[in-house]
Amino acid sequence: ETVNGIRKSTYSVKRGAQWIQQRNILHRAVVSTNCAVAAPETLYDIPVSNHGARVRMLIYAKKLEDTVPIKSPQELGGIKSEEFLKLNPLGKMPILTLPDGTAMPESTVILRYLDKKYSGPENPSLNPTQIEARARSDLFAQVIDSYFTPIQGCMYRGPMDAATRAEQVKSITTYFDVLEHLLSDKQASFSKDSVGPFCAGETPSLGDIVAFPTLVFASWILPRKFEWEDIFQSRPGLRRWWEAINDWEPASRVKSEIESALQEWDTSGRWERVGIQEQVTLLDRFIW
């Protein structure tokens, strides 16, 4: 008797030998104390990292902390260390190391990678499936990344002359208004059926995740250091978004992490050290 033209006895022997070989390879990989066990995917980041906070939100939302542990870059010697720079020559956070030892930089790339890899029937993607909703999510994120985050450092970095800082702080008002437009104006939503409160509909999406950490920085710093009374004043759509996303546990957790880090900055005298506290007193020359 033959199977696919091979005598059955010969076929069985070959199949049995292949199975034994595969079993032995698997056994050695799992059990042997001499084998190298592949490391899990690991996110290298710190609590005050704006872009890293986005990835942490997704990890918390998808309950991936056991699958994708979060470690400090200090475990590699810091972001300027030789070991870290081998993973990302730019020396930027966050980075995601993969089981094969390679590294993936850039928060947007990491977000989409983890969201795609760990999505399924019981853990749906945070990237909307409906095309208009996905466009709204992408646009919300694009506004943050193209306009807001490039000048975000004006709230806490130095050195920077007072005129430049005042101009950049002033521009934040415009970006808040754009976000308000996207959240409140039906014509800007690509769909008259869009109900919110999130940027793409009734549930959080990647666009919300990208925007949230930047708004945490702004909501904490602007009233305390630049004497803004209420960043959500006359912006009901943005206020509704802010209140809704703060009720989402992954977001509230990241907010707590960022605000604790900002409080540490404050205690260490960061705003005095970079000259912001002195510049803000120049009210006769600049409007903050």
Query: What secondary structure does DSSP assign to 216-233, as a single string?
Result: HHHHHHHHHHS--S-TTT
pLDDT at residue 196, as a whole number: 86
H or E, element range at 145:
none
Amino acid making up residue 277? Q
First to last CA, the chain: 89
Question: Other C-beta atoms within 10 Å of 27: how many?
Answer: 10
Rounded to an integer, what distance in angstroms lies between the CA atom of residue 202 and that of residue 125? 14
Cβ contact 55:114 at 8 Å: yes
pLDDT at residue 40, as a whole number: 86
Rounded to an integer, what distance in angstroms lies between the CA atom of residue 112 and that of residue 104? 11
Rounded to an integer, what distance in angstroms lies between the CA atom of residue 93 and that of residue 54? 11
Q: How many CA atoms lie within 13 A of 25 on its CB side?
A: 6
CA-to-CA dists, residue 35 to 22, 45, 78, 82, angstroms: 16, 29, 29, 27
Q: Which of 216, 245, 211 is nearest to 231 (CA)?
A: 216
Non-local (6+) Cβ contacts of 75 within 8 A are 44
φ, ψ of residue 104 in degrees (nearest 5): -120, 115
Cβ contact 180:235 at 8 Å: yes
CA-to-CA dists, residue 77 to 74, 86, 88, 218, angstroms: 5, 12, 13, 30
What is the Cα 253 distance to its own chain's centre?
13
Q: Which of 227, 92, 207, 97 is nearest to 166 (CA)?
A: 227
Q: Which of 48, 285, 267 is nearest to 152 (CA)?
A: 48
pLDDT in tens for each of the 288 residues of the chain?
443 444 444 434 344 444 334 433 333 333 222 333 446 899 999 999 999 999 999 999 999 999 999 999 999 999 999 999 999 999 999 999 999 989 999 999 999 999 999 999 999 999 999 999 999 999 999 999 999 999 999 999 999 999 999 999 999 999 999 999 999 987 666 665 667 899 999 999 999 999 999 999 999 999 999 999 999 999 999 999 999 999 999 999 999 999 999 999 999 999 999 999 999 988 666 777
